[in-house]
Amino acid sequence: MDSRINYGRWPAQAQALFPVGPVNTSHGGTYRCYGSSSSYPNVKPTLSAQPGPFVLPGDNLTLQCHSEAGFDRFALTKDVGLTPTQGLDGQPSPDFPLGRVTRAHGGRYRCYTGHNLSYAWSAPSAPLDILITGMYEKPSLSAQPGPSVPRGENVTLQCRSETSFDNFHLHKVGSPAPPWHLRLRDWAAPSQANFHISPVTSAHGGPYRCYGSRGTSPYLLSHASDPLQLVVSGEKPQPLSIERPDSQLTVRPRRALRRILPWISKGSFTSELWCQ
Q: According to the model, what pLDDT value does residue 243 have?
A: 38
pLDDT band at 74 (very low <50, low <70, confident <90, very high): very high
User: Is the full-model pTM beyond 0.85?
Assistant: no
Q: What's the CA gap between 234 and 43, in Å, rounded?
A: 41
Q: According to the model, what pLDDT value does residue 185 have?
A: 87
Q: Which of 132, 163, 181 is the last residue of a domain?
A: 132
Q: Which tens digit of pLDDT belongs to each residue from 8-29?
A: 333 445 566 778 878 887 777 7
**Domain housing 272:** 237-276
Co-location of 231 and 245 in the same domain: no
Q: According to the model, what pLDDT value does residue 269 have?
A: 29
Rounded to an integer, the average pLDDT of 53-81 is 90
Rounded to an integer, the average pLDDT of 59-80 is 90
**Half-sphere exposure of 230 toward its Cβ, with a 13 Å CA cutoff?**
31
**CATH number for the domain that contains residue 219:** 2.60.40.10
Element (H, E) at 113: strand 107-114
Q: What's the CA gap between 156 and 161, in Å, rounded?
A: 16
Q: What's the CA gap between 40 and 122, in Å, rounded?
A: 4
Co-location of 227 and 242 in the same domain: no
Using a 10 angstrom Cβ sphere, with 0-12 exposed, 13-18 middle and 19 or more buried, the burial of residue 233 is middle
Q: According to the model, what pLDDT value does residue 236 have?
A: 55
Is 86 inside a domain boundary? yes
pLDDT band at 153 (very low <50, low <70, confident <90, very high): very high
Q: Which tens digit of pLDDT belongs to each residue from 134-145?
A: 999 999 999 999
Q: What's the CA gap between 128 and 109, in Å, rounded?
A: 5
Q: Tell me, what DSSP letter sits at residue 179?
A: P
pLDDT band at 95 (very low <50, low <70, confident <90, very high): very high
Whether residue 92 has a cis bond before it, omega within 30° of 0: no
Co-location of 202 and 180 in the same domain: yes
Q: Which tens digit of pLDDT belongs to each residue from 102-119?
A: 999 999 999 999 888 777
Q: According to the model, what pLDDT value does residue 240 have?
A: 40
pLDDT band at 87 (very low <50, low <70, confident <90, very high): low
DSSP for 119-137, written as a single string: S-BBPPPPPEEEEE--SS-
In this predicted structure, which of 44-48, 56-60, 227-231, 272-276 has the lowest mean pLDDT? 272-276
Co-location of 144 and 222 in the same domain: yes
Q: According to the model, what pLDDT value does residue 273 have?
A: 26
Domain count, the chain: 3
Co-location of 66 and 124 in the same domain: yes
Q: According to the model, what pLDDT value does residue 26 have?
A: 78
Co-location of 118 and 55 in the same domain: yes
DSSP for 21-87, written as a single string: -S--GGG-S--------S-BTT---EEEEES-SEE-TT-EEEEEEE--TT--EEEEEE-SS---GGG
As a residue count, the chain comes to: 276
In this predicted structure, which of 43-47, 57-61, 81-85, 199-203 has the lowest mean pLDDT? 81-85
Co-location of 218 and 275 in the same domain: no
Q: According to the model, what pLDDT value does residue 61 have?
A: 97
Q: Which tens digit of pLDDT belongs to each residue from 216-263?
A: 999 999 999 999 999 999 855 545 443 333 333 333 333 333 333 333
Tell me the percentage of the chain whose pLDDT exceeds 70. 73
Element (H, E) at 99: strand 95-100
Q: Which of 83, 99, 132 is the last residue of a domain?
A: 132
* 84: CB partners within 8 A, 6+ apart: none
Per-residue pLDDT for 130 more than 90?
Answer: yes
